[in-house]
Structure 1
Amino acid sequence: MLKHPTLDQLYALGLHGMAKAFVEIAASGEADSLGHHEWLGLLLDREVSLRQDKRLAGRLRVAKLRQQACVEDVDYRSPRGLDRVLFQKLVEGEWIGAHDNLALIGPTGVGKSWLASALGHKACRDNRSVFYQRVPRLFEELALARGDGRHPRLLRNLGRADLLILDDWGLEPLDAAARHDLLEILEERYGRRSTMITSQLPVDRWHEIIGDPTYADAILDRLVHNAHRIELDGESMRRTRAKQSRKD
Protein backbone atom coordinates (compact mmCIF):
# COMPACT_ATOMS: atom_id res chain seq x y z
CA MET A 1 0.00 0.00 0.00
CA LEU A 2 2.91 2.33 0.66
CA LYS A 3 4.65 1.76 -2.65
CA HIS A 4 2.89 4.33 -4.77
CA PRO A 5 2.70 7.15 -2.18
CA THR A 6 6.36 6.59 -1.30
CA LEU A 7 7.41 6.74 -4.94
CA ASP A 8 5.38 9.90 -5.46
CA GLN A 9 7.10 11.51 -2.49
CA LEU A 10 10.57 10.46 -3.67
CA TYR A 11 9.97 11.91 -7.13
CA ALA A 12 8.44 15.08 -5.65
CA LEU A 13 11.61 15.57 -3.60
CA GLY A 14 13.81 15.00 -6.66
CA LEU A 15 15.23 11.76 -5.25
CA HIS A 16 15.16 9.92 -8.56
CA GLY A 17 17.99 7.54 -7.69
CA MET A 18 16.18 6.42 -4.56
CA ALA A 19 12.93 6.07 -6.47
CA LYS A 20 14.52 3.84 -9.11
CA ALA A 21 16.22 1.71 -6.47
CA PHE A 22 12.92 1.45 -4.55
CA VAL A 23 11.16 0.00 -7.60
CA GLU A 24 14.00 -2.41 -8.43
CA ILE A 25 14.38 -3.73 -4.88
CA ALA A 26 10.65 -4.17 -4.47
CA ALA A 27 10.36 -5.98 -7.81
CA SER A 28 13.22 -8.34 -6.99
CA GLY A 29 11.66 -9.54 -3.76
CA GLU A 30 14.83 -8.56 -1.93
CA ALA A 31 12.96 -6.12 0.29
CA ASP A 32 11.51 -8.83 2.54
CA SER A 33 14.99 -9.96 3.59
CA LEU A 34 16.29 -6.46 4.34
CA GLY A 35 16.15 -4.63 7.62
CA HIS A 36 15.08 -0.98 7.70
CA HIS A 37 18.66 0.25 7.94
CA GLU A 38 19.81 -1.93 5.04
CA TRP A 39 16.86 -0.83 2.91
CA LEU A 40 17.56 2.84 3.59
CA GLY A 41 21.27 2.36 3.02
CA LEU A 42 20.72 0.86 -0.44
CA LEU A 43 18.38 3.66 -1.43
CA LEU A 44 20.83 6.31 -0.26
CA ASP A 45 23.77 4.63 -2.03
CA ARG A 46 21.84 4.68 -5.30
CA GLU A 47 20.88 8.33 -4.88
CA VAL A 48 24.46 9.36 -4.14
CA SER A 49 25.75 7.38 -7.13
CA LEU A 50 23.22 8.94 -9.49
CA ARG A 51 24.02 12.45 -8.33
CA GLN A 52 27.76 11.86 -8.67
CA ASP A 53 27.25 10.57 -12.21
CA LYS A 54 25.18 13.62 -13.12
CA ARG A 55 27.73 16.03 -11.68
CA LEU A 56 30.54 14.30 -13.55
CA ALA A 57 28.59 14.40 -16.81
CA GLY A 58 28.00 18.12 -16.30
CA ARG A 59 31.66 18.85 -15.56
CA LEU A 60 32.76 16.89 -18.63
CA ARG A 61 30.23 18.73 -20.77
CA VAL A 62 31.64 22.08 -19.66
CA ALA A 63 35.26 20.90 -19.94
CA LYS A 64 34.95 20.00 -23.64
CA LEU A 65 38.02 17.79 -23.50
CA ARG A 66 39.61 17.07 -26.86
CA GLN A 67 39.67 13.29 -26.45
CA GLN A 68 37.89 10.64 -24.42
CA ALA A 69 40.81 9.57 -22.26
CA CYS A 70 41.19 8.06 -18.80
CA VAL A 71 44.33 7.87 -16.68
CA GLU A 72 43.70 4.15 -16.16
CA ASP A 73 44.31 3.61 -19.90
CA VAL A 74 47.69 5.38 -20.14
CA ASP A 75 50.22 3.40 -22.18
CA TYR A 76 53.51 3.33 -20.27
CA ARG A 77 55.11 0.80 -22.63
CA SER A 78 55.51 3.10 -25.63
CA PRO A 79 59.08 4.47 -25.86
CA ARG A 80 58.31 8.15 -25.34
CA GLY A 81 60.00 8.89 -22.01
CA LEU A 82 56.85 9.10 -19.88
CA ASP A 83 57.91 8.93 -16.22
CA ARG A 84 55.35 6.61 -14.63
CA VAL A 85 56.09 7.68 -11.06
CA LEU A 86 55.75 11.38 -11.89
CA PHE A 87 52.59 10.89 -13.91
CA GLN A 88 50.96 8.80 -11.18
CA LYS A 89 51.73 11.57 -8.71
CA LEU A 90 50.08 14.08 -11.04
CA VAL A 91 47.05 11.80 -11.29
CA GLU A 92 46.54 12.18 -7.54
CA GLY A 93 45.81 15.85 -8.19
CA GLU A 94 47.66 17.48 -5.31
CA TRP A 95 49.32 19.87 -7.77
CA ILE A 96 45.89 21.24 -8.67
CA GLY A 97 45.05 21.72 -5.02
CA ALA A 98 48.35 23.57 -4.62
CA HIS A 99 47.55 25.75 -7.69
CA ASP A 100 50.68 24.59 -9.52
CA ASN A 101 50.94 24.46 -13.31
CA LEU A 102 51.93 21.65 -15.67
CA ALA A 103 53.78 21.66 -18.99
CA LEU A 104 53.52 18.65 -21.33
CA ILE A 105 56.24 19.03 -23.95
CA GLY A 106 57.22 16.86 -26.89
CA PRO A 107 57.05 16.37 -30.66
CA THR A 108 53.81 15.86 -32.51
CA GLY A 109 52.10 12.50 -32.12
CA VAL A 110 53.55 11.42 -28.77
CA GLY A 111 50.22 11.75 -26.96
CA LYS A 112 50.40 15.16 -25.26
CA SER A 113 46.76 16.06 -25.93
CA TRP A 114 45.61 12.58 -24.91
CA LEU A 115 47.50 12.76 -21.61
CA ALA A 116 46.17 16.26 -20.99
CA SER A 117 42.62 15.04 -21.61
CA ALA A 118 43.17 12.08 -19.29
CA LEU A 119 44.36 14.35 -16.48
CA GLY A 120 41.44 16.69 -17.18
CA HIS A 121 39.00 13.77 -16.98
CA LYS A 122 40.51 12.71 -13.65
CA ALA A 123 40.18 16.26 -12.32
CA CYS A 124 36.49 16.21 -13.28
CA ARG A 125 36.10 12.92 -11.42
CA ASP A 126 37.73 14.59 -8.42
CA ASN A 127 34.95 17.21 -8.43
CA ARG A 128 37.10 19.94 -9.98
CA SER A 129 36.04 22.28 -12.76
CA VAL A 130 38.02 21.95 -15.99
CA PHE A 131 38.07 23.87 -19.25
CA TYR A 132 39.97 22.82 -22.38
CA GLN A 133 40.94 25.08 -25.28
CA ARG A 134 43.30 24.82 -28.22
CA VAL A 135 45.44 27.95 -28.07
CA PRO A 136 44.91 29.03 -31.72
CA ARG A 137 41.13 28.72 -31.34
CA LEU A 138 41.18 30.49 -27.97
CA PHE A 139 42.80 33.63 -29.35
CA GLU A 140 40.42 33.60 -32.32
CA GLU A 141 37.45 33.48 -29.95
CA LEU A 142 38.89 36.24 -27.78
CA ALA A 143 39.44 38.45 -30.84
CA LEU A 144 35.83 37.92 -31.94
CA ALA A 145 34.59 38.51 -28.40
CA ARG A 146 36.10 42.01 -28.43
CA GLY A 147 33.67 42.97 -31.15
CA ASP A 148 30.46 41.65 -29.60
CA GLY A 149 30.92 42.53 -25.95
CA ARG A 150 31.68 39.03 -24.66
CA HIS A 151 35.37 39.65 -24.01
CA PRO A 152 35.23 40.45 -20.26
CA ARG A 153 32.89 37.52 -19.58
CA LEU A 154 35.06 35.10 -21.55
CA LEU A 155 38.17 36.21 -19.65
CA ARG A 156 36.33 35.71 -16.35
CA ASN A 157 35.26 32.21 -17.35
CA LEU A 158 38.84 31.31 -18.29
CA GLY A 159 39.97 32.52 -14.89
CA ARG A 160 37.46 30.50 -12.87
CA ALA A 161 38.16 26.89 -13.86
CA ASP A 162 40.16 24.90 -11.31
CA LEU A 163 42.17 23.53 -14.24
CA LEU A 164 42.59 25.34 -17.57
CA ILE A 165 44.11 23.20 -20.34
CA LEU A 166 45.79 25.18 -23.14
CA ASP A 167 46.59 22.73 -25.91
CA ASP A 168 48.91 23.28 -28.90
CA TRP A 169 50.75 26.24 -27.42
CA GLY A 170 53.42 27.83 -29.60
CA LEU A 171 52.21 26.88 -33.07
CA GLU A 172 52.54 30.51 -34.16
CA PRO A 173 53.85 33.77 -32.66
CA LEU A 174 51.44 35.86 -30.58
CA ASP A 175 50.23 39.24 -31.72
CA ALA A 176 49.78 42.17 -29.35
CA ALA A 177 46.17 41.36 -28.49
CA ALA A 178 46.94 37.69 -27.79
CA ARG A 179 49.89 38.64 -25.56
CA HIS A 180 47.70 40.98 -23.56
CA ASP A 181 44.89 38.43 -23.22
CA LEU A 182 47.23 35.64 -22.16
CA LEU A 183 48.80 37.83 -19.48
CA GLU A 184 45.35 38.79 -18.17
CA ILE A 185 44.29 35.15 -18.00
CA LEU A 186 47.44 34.02 -16.20
CA GLU A 187 47.41 37.00 -13.84
CA GLU A 188 43.87 36.08 -12.78
CA ARG A 189 44.82 32.43 -12.30
CA TYR A 190 48.26 32.76 -10.71
CA GLY A 191 48.29 31.36 -7.19
CA ARG A 192 44.54 30.64 -7.38
CA ARG A 193 44.06 28.04 -10.12
CA SER A 194 46.15 25.60 -12.18
CA THR A 195 47.01 25.84 -15.86
CA MET A 196 48.21 22.99 -18.07
CA ILE A 197 50.10 23.70 -21.31
CA THR A 198 50.92 21.28 -24.11
CA SER A 199 53.54 22.30 -26.64
CA GLN A 200 55.86 20.95 -29.30
CA LEU A 201 58.39 23.64 -28.37
CA PRO A 202 60.81 23.37 -25.45
CA VAL A 203 60.33 25.94 -22.71
CA ASP A 204 63.45 27.89 -23.73
CA ARG A 205 61.70 28.73 -27.05
CA TRP A 206 58.54 30.11 -25.46
CA HIS A 207 60.03 33.56 -24.96
CA GLU A 208 60.46 34.11 -28.70
CA ILE A 209 56.92 32.87 -29.44
CA ILE A 210 55.45 35.49 -27.11
CA GLY A 211 57.51 38.14 -28.86
CA ASP A 212 57.57 41.25 -26.72
CA PRO A 213 60.30 40.77 -24.05
CA THR A 214 58.40 42.59 -21.31
CA TYR A 215 55.23 40.57 -21.85
CA ALA A 216 57.25 37.39 -22.25
CA ASP A 217 58.95 37.85 -18.88
CA ALA A 218 55.64 38.56 -17.15
CA ILE A 219 53.80 35.63 -18.79
CA LEU A 220 56.53 33.07 -18.20
CA ASP A 221 56.99 34.21 -14.60
CA ARG A 222 53.34 33.34 -13.95
CA LEU A 223 53.38 30.15 -15.99
CA VAL A 224 56.71 28.36 -15.73
CA HIS A 225 58.37 28.85 -12.38
CA ASN A 226 55.80 26.76 -10.45
CA ALA A 227 55.17 24.29 -13.28
CA HIS A 228 55.75 20.55 -13.20
CA ARG A 229 57.16 19.29 -16.50
CA ILE A 230 56.68 16.14 -18.51
CA GLU A 231 59.09 16.07 -21.45
CA LEU A 232 58.33 13.37 -24.02
CA ASP A 233 60.26 12.24 -27.06
CA GLY A 234 60.23 9.48 -29.64
CA GLU A 235 58.41 8.72 -32.85
CA SER A 236 54.79 9.67 -33.42
CA MET A 237 52.54 7.05 -31.84
CA ARG A 238 50.08 7.52 -34.70
CA ARG A 239 52.81 6.67 -37.20
CA THR A 240 53.96 3.69 -35.14
CA ARG A 241 50.43 2.30 -34.87
CA ALA A 242 49.87 2.79 -38.60
CA LYS A 243 53.01 0.78 -39.32
CA GLN A 244 51.87 -1.94 -36.94
CA SER A 245 48.45 -2.09 -38.59
CA ARG A 246 50.01 -2.57 -42.01
CA LYS A 247 52.11 -5.44 -40.64
CA ASP A 248 49.04 -7.07 -39.11
Structure 2
Amino acid sequence: MHHNQTLQSLRALKLTGMADALEQQHAQPSTHEELGFDQRLALLVDRETTHRNNNKVTRLLLNAKLKLQAYPEDIDYSHPRGLHKSQFAELLGGSWIHQHHNVLITGPTGCGKTYLGCALATQACRHGFSVRYFRTSRLLETLSIAHGDGRFAKLIQQLAKTDVLVMDDWGLEKMTLGQRNDLLEIMEDRHGQRSTLITSQLPVSQWHQSIGDATLADAILDRLLHNSHKIKLKGESMRKTMSKMTESDQSQ
Protein backbone atom coordinates (compact mmCIF):
# COMPACT_ATOMS: atom_id res chain seq x y z
CA MET A 1 0.00 0.00 0.00
CA HIS A 2 2.86 2.34 0.89
CA HIS A 3 4.46 1.63 -2.51
CA ASN A 4 1.26 2.53 -4.39
CA GLN A 5 0.86 5.76 -2.42
CA THR A 6 4.42 6.76 -3.28
CA LEU A 7 3.81 6.12 -6.97
CA GLN A 8 0.59 8.14 -6.89
CA SER A 9 2.39 11.02 -5.17
CA LEU A 10 5.22 10.98 -7.72
CA ARG A 11 2.77 11.08 -10.62
CA ALA A 12 0.71 13.81 -8.94
CA LEU A 13 3.92 15.84 -8.70
CA LYS A 14 4.52 15.13 -12.43
CA LEU A 15 7.66 13.13 -11.60
CA THR A 16 6.72 10.57 -14.23
CA GLY A 17 10.28 9.42 -14.91
CA MET A 18 10.92 8.72 -11.24
CA ALA A 19 7.59 6.89 -10.91
CA ASP A 20 8.38 4.66 -13.91
CA ALA A 21 11.86 3.91 -12.56
CA LEU A 22 10.48 3.07 -9.11
CA GLU A 23 7.97 0.69 -10.66
CA GLN A 24 10.82 -0.95 -12.57
CA GLN A 25 12.86 -1.36 -9.38
CA HIS A 26 9.96 -3.07 -7.64
CA ALA A 27 9.25 -5.26 -10.68
CA GLN A 28 12.90 -6.36 -10.88
CA PRO A 29 13.98 -6.68 -7.21
CA SER A 30 16.89 -9.00 -7.96
CA THR A 31 18.45 -6.37 -10.25
CA HIS A 32 18.44 -3.65 -7.61
CA GLU A 33 18.52 -5.43 -4.23
CA GLU A 34 22.28 -5.13 -3.88
CA LEU A 35 22.25 -1.37 -4.52
CA GLY A 36 22.31 1.07 -1.63
CA PHE A 37 19.74 3.80 -1.03
CA ASP A 38 21.87 6.52 -2.65
CA GLN A 39 22.45 4.42 -5.76
CA ARG A 40 18.76 3.59 -6.17
CA LEU A 41 17.81 7.22 -5.63
CA ALA A 42 20.39 8.28 -8.22
CA LEU A 43 18.76 5.91 -10.74
CA LEU A 44 15.38 7.50 -10.09
CA VAL A 45 16.76 11.01 -10.54
CA ASP A 46 18.62 10.04 -13.74
CA ARG A 47 15.42 8.55 -15.17
CA GLU A 48 13.48 11.73 -14.36
CA THR A 49 16.17 13.89 -15.96
CA THR A 50 16.13 11.78 -19.12
CA HIS A 51 12.33 11.84 -19.24
CA ARG A 52 12.22 15.64 -18.97
CA ASN A 53 14.96 16.12 -21.55
CA ASN A 54 13.16 13.85 -24.01
CA ASN A 55 9.90 15.73 -23.48
CA LYS A 56 11.66 19.05 -24.01
CA VAL A 57 13.22 17.91 -27.29
CA THR A 58 9.84 16.61 -28.49
CA ARG A 59 8.24 19.96 -27.65
CA LEU A 60 11.00 21.95 -29.35
CA LEU A 61 10.74 19.85 -32.51
CA LEU A 62 6.96 20.29 -32.56
CA ASN A 63 7.28 24.07 -32.21
CA ALA A 64 10.02 24.22 -34.88
CA LYS A 65 7.55 23.09 -37.57
CA LEU A 66 10.35 21.75 -39.75
CA LYS A 67 9.52 20.97 -43.36
CA LEU A 68 11.30 17.61 -43.20
CA GLN A 69 12.01 15.00 -40.57
CA ALA A 70 15.78 15.06 -41.03
CA TYR A 71 18.21 13.28 -38.73
CA PRO A 72 21.97 13.93 -38.58
CA GLU A 73 22.72 10.21 -38.39
CA ASP A 74 21.00 9.64 -41.77
CA ILE A 75 23.03 12.18 -43.77
CA ASP A 76 24.71 10.80 -46.90
CA TYR A 77 28.31 12.00 -47.07
CA SER A 78 29.22 9.70 -49.98
CA HIS A 79 27.30 11.65 -52.63
CA PRO A 80 29.73 13.93 -54.56
CA ARG A 81 28.07 17.25 -53.71
CA GLY A 82 30.84 19.03 -51.82
CA LEU A 83 29.57 18.27 -48.31
CA HIS A 84 32.57 17.91 -45.99
CA LYS A 85 31.90 15.60 -43.07
CA SER A 86 34.37 17.35 -40.76
CA GLN A 87 32.77 20.77 -41.32
CA PHE A 88 29.25 19.46 -40.85
CA ALA A 89 30.22 17.45 -37.77
CA GLU A 90 31.54 20.64 -36.21
CA LEU A 91 28.24 22.39 -36.93
CA LEU A 92 26.32 19.47 -35.40
CA GLY A 93 28.27 20.13 -32.21
CA GLY A 94 26.25 23.34 -31.81
CA SER A 95 29.06 25.77 -30.98
CA TRP A 96 27.87 28.07 -33.81
CA ILE A 97 24.60 28.57 -31.93
CA HIS A 98 26.33 29.28 -28.63
CA GLN A 99 28.47 31.87 -30.46
CA HIS A 100 25.44 33.36 -32.28
CA HIS A 101 26.91 32.59 -35.71
CA ASN A 102 24.92 31.92 -38.90
CA VAL A 103 24.94 29.03 -41.39
CA LEU A 104 24.45 29.60 -45.13
CA ILE A 105 23.80 26.55 -47.33
CA THR A 106 23.82 27.16 -51.08
CA GLY A 107 23.62 24.90 -54.11
CA PRO A 108 21.49 23.78 -57.07
CA THR A 109 18.03 22.29 -56.81
CA GLY A 110 17.90 18.77 -55.39
CA CYS A 111 21.30 18.68 -53.70
CA GLY A 112 19.80 18.37 -50.21
CA LYS A 113 19.97 21.93 -48.85
CA THR A 114 16.64 21.77 -47.04
CA TYR A 115 17.39 18.33 -45.59
CA LEU A 116 20.76 19.48 -44.24
CA GLY A 117 19.19 22.62 -42.82
CA CYS A 118 16.46 20.61 -41.09
CA ALA A 119 19.06 18.13 -39.79
CA LEU A 120 20.99 20.99 -38.19
CA ALA A 121 17.73 22.34 -36.80
CA THR A 122 16.86 18.92 -35.36
CA GLN A 123 20.26 18.74 -33.70
CA ALA A 124 19.74 22.23 -32.30
CA CYS A 125 16.51 21.05 -30.68
CA ARG A 126 18.36 18.08 -29.22
CA HIS A 127 20.79 20.55 -27.67
CA GLY A 128 17.85 22.40 -26.10
CA PHE A 129 17.66 25.40 -28.44
CA SER A 130 14.41 26.84 -29.76
CA VAL A 131 14.03 26.66 -33.55
CA ARG A 132 11.53 27.99 -36.09
CA TYR A 133 11.41 27.02 -39.75
CA PHE A 134 9.98 29.24 -42.50
CA ARG A 135 10.03 29.24 -46.27
CA THR A 136 11.47 32.71 -46.84
CA SER A 137 8.69 33.95 -49.13
CA ARG A 138 6.01 32.84 -46.66
CA LEU A 139 7.78 34.48 -43.73
CA LEU A 140 7.96 37.80 -45.60
CA GLU A 141 4.31 37.47 -46.64
CA THR A 142 3.30 36.69 -43.04
CA LEU A 143 5.15 39.78 -41.82
CA SER A 144 3.45 41.95 -44.45
CA ILE A 145 0.01 40.71 -43.35
CA ALA A 146 0.96 41.19 -39.69
CA HIS A 147 1.48 44.90 -40.35
CA GLY A 148 -2.18 45.18 -41.25
CA ASP A 149 -3.75 43.16 -38.42
CA GLY A 150 -1.62 44.46 -35.57
CA ARG A 151 0.44 41.31 -34.96
CA PHE A 152 3.73 42.61 -36.36
CA ALA A 153 5.35 43.72 -33.09
CA LYS A 154 4.45 40.44 -31.36
CA LEU A 155 5.69 38.34 -34.29
CA ILE A 156 8.97 40.23 -34.54
CA GLN A 157 9.48 39.78 -30.80
CA GLN A 158 8.86 36.04 -31.08
CA LEU A 159 11.38 35.76 -33.91
CA ALA A 160 13.95 37.78 -31.95
CA LYS A 161 13.72 35.31 -29.05
CA THR A 162 14.09 32.19 -31.22
CA ASP A 163 17.58 30.69 -30.90
CA VAL A 164 17.74 29.41 -34.50
CA LEU A 165 15.66 30.91 -37.31
CA VAL A 166 15.63 28.75 -40.46
CA MET A 167 14.86 30.60 -43.70
CA ASP A 168 14.52 28.11 -46.56
CA ASP A 169 14.62 28.94 -50.30
CA TRP A 170 16.11 32.41 -49.86
CA GLY A 171 16.10 34.71 -52.90
CA LEU A 172 13.54 32.96 -55.12
CA GLU A 173 11.28 36.02 -55.39
CA LYS A 174 11.92 39.75 -55.72
CA MET A 175 11.47 41.59 -52.43
CA THR A 176 9.28 44.65 -51.99
CA LEU A 177 10.50 47.69 -50.08
CA GLY A 178 8.39 46.68 -47.09
CA GLN A 179 9.83 43.16 -47.11
CA ARG A 180 13.38 44.52 -47.23
CA ASN A 181 12.68 46.70 -44.23
CA ASP A 182 11.13 43.77 -42.34
CA LEU A 183 14.12 41.59 -43.17
CA LEU A 184 16.52 44.26 -41.95
CA GLU A 185 14.62 44.49 -38.67
CA ILE A 186 14.87 40.71 -38.22
CA MET A 187 18.60 40.69 -38.92
CA GLU A 188 19.19 43.69 -36.67
CA ASP A 189 17.47 41.91 -33.78
CA ARG A 190 19.40 38.67 -34.35
CA HIS A 191 22.87 40.03 -35.09
CA GLY A 192 25.21 38.91 -32.31
CA GLN A 193 22.22 37.67 -30.26
CA ARG A 194 20.77 34.66 -32.10
CA SER A 195 21.61 32.39 -35.04
CA THR A 196 20.07 32.27 -38.53
CA LEU A 197 20.26 29.36 -40.97
CA ILE A 198 19.60 30.07 -44.64
CA THR A 199 19.33 27.79 -47.67
CA SER A 200 19.37 29.19 -51.20
CA GLN A 201 19.75 28.16 -54.83
CA LEU A 202 21.56 31.44 -55.40
CA PRO A 203 25.26 31.75 -54.60
CA VAL A 204 25.99 34.29 -51.86
CA SER A 205 27.54 36.59 -54.48
CA GLN A 206 24.06 37.10 -56.00
CA TRP A 207 22.20 37.81 -52.76
CA HIS A 208 22.91 41.53 -52.89
CA GLN A 209 21.20 41.83 -56.29
CA SER A 210 18.29 39.60 -55.25
CA ILE A 211 17.41 41.88 -52.32
CA GLY A 212 16.96 44.70 -54.83
CA ASP A 213 18.06 47.85 -52.97
CA ALA A 214 21.77 48.57 -52.59
CA THR A 215 21.58 50.40 -49.26
CA LEU A 216 19.26 47.92 -47.55
CA ALA A 217 21.11 44.97 -49.10
CA ASP A 218 24.39 46.24 -47.64
CA ALA A 219 22.82 46.56 -44.20
CA ILE A 220 21.10 43.15 -44.30
CA LEU A 221 24.07 41.21 -45.66
CA ASP A 222 26.54 42.93 -43.35
CA ARG A 223 24.66 41.46 -40.39
CA LEU A 224 23.95 38.12 -42.03
CA LEU A 225 27.37 37.31 -43.49
CA HIS A 226 29.32 38.40 -40.43
CA ASN A 227 30.50 35.30 -38.51
CA SER A 228 28.77 32.93 -40.94
CA HIS A 229 29.63 29.34 -41.84
CA LYS A 230 29.17 28.64 -45.55
CA ILE A 231 28.36 25.27 -47.12
CA LYS A 232 28.55 25.40 -50.93
CA LEU A 233 26.97 22.31 -52.48
CA LYS A 234 27.35 21.33 -56.12
CA GLY A 235 26.67 18.56 -58.60
CA GLU A 236 23.65 16.76 -60.01
CA SER A 237 20.36 16.58 -58.15
CA MET A 238 20.31 13.77 -55.59
CA ARG A 239 16.70 13.12 -56.55
CA LYS A 240 17.74 12.51 -60.17
CA THR A 241 20.61 10.28 -59.05
CA MET A 242 18.29 8.20 -56.84
CA SER A 243 15.79 7.96 -59.71
CA LYS A 244 18.50 6.68 -62.07
CA MET A 245 19.61 4.10 -59.49
CA THR A 246 16.03 2.91 -59.06
CA GLU A 247 15.54 2.62 -62.84
CA SER A 248 18.82 0.69 -63.09
CA ASP A 249 17.73 -1.74 -60.38
CA GLN A 250 14.39 -2.30 -62.06
CA SER A 251 16.01 -3.02 -65.43
CA GLN A 252 18.17 -5.82 -64.01
The interval holding the TM-score normalised by the smaller chain is over 0.9
Q: Distance in 2 between matches of 1:45 and 1:94?
A: 26
Higher alpha-carbon deviation: 201-210 or 5-14 = 5-14
CA distance in structure 2 between the aligned counterparts of 1:183 and 1:55, rounded to whole angstroms: 31
Letter in 2 for 1:104: I
Alpha-carbon distance between aligned partners in 1 of 2:240 and 2:220, rounded to the nearest angstrom: 34
The answer for the alignment partner of 2:40 in structure 1 is: 39
**1:187-242 CA deviation, whole Å, 9 max, x = no partner?**
00001111111000011111111111110110010111321100000011011111
- Equivalent pairs, count: 248
Whether 2:153 is the aligned partner of 1:152: answer yes
Q: What is the TM-score normalised by the length of structure 1?
A: 0.96
Q: 2: distance between equivalents of 1:238 and 1:152?
A: 40
Cα offsets for 1:120-151 (capped at 9, x unmatched): 11111111111111101111211221221111
| SS, match of residue 245 in structure 2 | helix
> Please, which runs of 5 or more residues in structure 1 have no aligned partner?
none
1:106-121 equivalences under 5 Å are 106-121=107-122
Write the deviation string for residues 22-74 of structure 1: whole angstroms up to 9, x where unpaired: 11221223443432122212211211111001100111111111111121221
d(CA) in 2 for partners of 1:247, 1:161: 45
Opposite residue 11 of structure 2, the aligned amino acid is: Y
Corresponding residue SS for 1:192: coil
Q: State the secondary structure of the residue aligned to 2:132.
A: strand
Counterpart secondary structure, 1:164: strand
Q: Could you say which residue in structure 2 is the equivalent of 1:194?
A: 195
* Alignment partner, residue 16 of structure 2: 16
How many angstroms does 1:169 deviate by?
A: 0.0
Alignment of 1:163-202 (within 5 A): 163-202=164-203
In 2, Cα distance between equivalents of 1:173 and 1:222: 20
> What's the counterpart of residue 26 of structure 1?
26
1:98 matched to 2:121? The reply is no
Tell me, in whole angstroms, the C-alpha distance in 2 between the residues paired with 1:47 and 1:122.
22
Equivalent position of 2:127 in the other structure: 126
Residue 12 of structure 1, CA deviation: 2.4
Secondary structure at the aligned position of 1:57 is classed as helix
State the SS of the aligned residue for 1:218: helix
Letter in 2 for 1:23: E
> Paired residue for 1:50?
51
TM-score calculated relative to the size of structure 2: 0.95
2:236 aligned partner: 235
Indicate the SS of the match to 1:143. Answer: helix
Q: 5+ unaligned residues in a row in structure 2: which ranges?
A: none
4+ long deviations beyond 3 Å: 30-34
For residue 165 of structure 2, what is the amino acid of its counterpart?
Answer: L
SS in 1 for 2:40: helix
Other structure's SS at 1:233 match: coil
Distance 1:211 1:32 in 2: 71
Aligned to 1:75: 76
* Mapped partners of 2:179, 2:59: distance in 1: 30
Q: Whole-Å Cα distance in 2 between the matches of residues 2 and 47 of structure 1?
A: 21
Cα RMSD, aligned residues only = 1.2
* Counterparts of 1:16 and 1:101, CA distance in 2: 37
Identity, % of aligned positions: 50
